[in-house]
Structure 1
Amino acid sequence: MSVQWYFEDFHPGQEIDLGERIVTEEEIVAFARDFDPQPFHVDREAGAASIYGGVIASGWHTCSMMMRMVVDGMMCAASSLGSPGLEKVRWIRPLHPGDTLRVRYITQQVKASASKPDRGVVWSKWIATNQHGEEVCTVEGMGMFGRRPREGSHD
């Protein structure tokens, strides 16, 4: 793996477009059967009779898809050291079969570690929208990233 994103590459206000994917009813139901089997996630008739008018993705499924897009679109090429946690998750509107999920990673704040000079923390907000540009979900949290190795170092 070639690292393209180090702590120093992040700055407040930066937006990274992580692409899009179409969400299928099959994946919505499969995820929900395993992890969130509420009727409006797993059953067409129950979904149709609900306030949502059809099957919708679990919010946890939406977050999982967002995570996959963040990993594929950036983290696989980053000096990521994991995350100490999330601060806020918002499910703003339902995600329906056939919707196109688009994710943006927005850097909000960066801070180099005072006690561990080989890393820093990046606070970010992930914004997921549908094909109409409407917000579906937001996730706010932090990630730890390694600092860029100095020239001539053996890091």
Structure 2
Amino acid sequence: MRYFEDVEVGSTAGFGDYAVTRDEVIDFARRYDPQPFHLSDEAAAATHFGRLSASGWHTCAMTMAMIVEQLERHGEAGLGSPGIDELRWLKPVYPGDRLRCESEVLEKRRSASRPAMGIYRSRMTVYNQDDVAVMGFISNSMIATRTAG
């Protein structure tokens, strides 16, 4: 199990492999982001996307699935997140793409009000199969400490 004390500023990790499917892109869009360029090839062709593209929110959800899989695989005493900063959708994500993540720990601190908890910030970048960055954000993660003091 990884605790606050194990988090090293500057450490990096690469993980994930998510295949983006046409059916999932359309299903997510129908339910949560029903803009025409996420639903229709014809509508998307008339935009700067050029073809059907995934919602940015769908890209966030696919990224979260990869993050949770990584946390479960390696074990982390995670306590959730108070949010993210600087979310940017850099390039469109299309059906047929394969996504992966890279993270870098930027800073960490023990909580002043909750000494059994630490917080660390990481830069997360999501890449497609061509190693093109498609999304980036700063993640704020809460994590248990081994000791309260």
Does the TM-score normalized on the shorter chain lie above 0.5?
yes
| Counterpart among 62, 65, 69 of residue 66 in structure 2 | 69
SS at match of 1:54: coil
Q: Is the partner of 1:74 in helix, strand or coil?
A: helix
1:47 shift after superposition: 1.2
Report SS of the residue matched to 1:66: helix
What residue number does 1:106 align with?
104
Give the drift of 1:75.
5.3
- The match for 1:25 among 12, 22, 26 is 22
For the residue of structure 2 that corresponds to 1:79, the secondary structure is coil
Preserved contact between residue 5 and residue 79 of structure 1 (Cα < 8 Å): yes
Unpaired runs of at least 5, structure 1: 151-155
Q: What is the identity, as a one-letter code, of the residue corresponding to 1:55?
A: L
* 1:87 CA drift (Å): 1.5
User: How much does 1:123 deviate?
Assistant: 0.6
Deviation at 1:115, TM superposition (A): 2.6
Consecutive aligned runs of 4 or more in structure 1 exceeding 6 Å deviation: none
Q: TM-score, normalised by structure 2?
A: 0.92
Matched, 1:131 2:129: yes
Whole-angstrom distance in 2 between the partners of 1:71 and 1:139: 16
Query: In percent, how many aligned pairs have the same letter?
Result: 39
**CA–CA distance in 2 between the matches of 1:60 and 1:49?**
21
Normalising by structure 1, report the TM-score.
Answer: 0.89
Q: State the aligned residue count.
A: 147
What do residues 66-116 of structure 1 show as CA deviations (whole Å, max 9, x unaligned)? 111111111572111111111210000000110110112221111112232
1:48 matched to 2:49? The reply is no
Query: For the Cα contact (< 8 Å) 1:81–1:143, is it kept in 2?
Result: yes
Partners of 1:25 and 1:134 lie apart in 2 by 20
Name the residue aligned to 1:36.
33
SS across alignment from 2:140:
strand
Answer whether contact 1:103 1:126 (CA < 8 A) is retained.
yes
Q: Give 1:50 deviation, angstroms.
A: 1.7
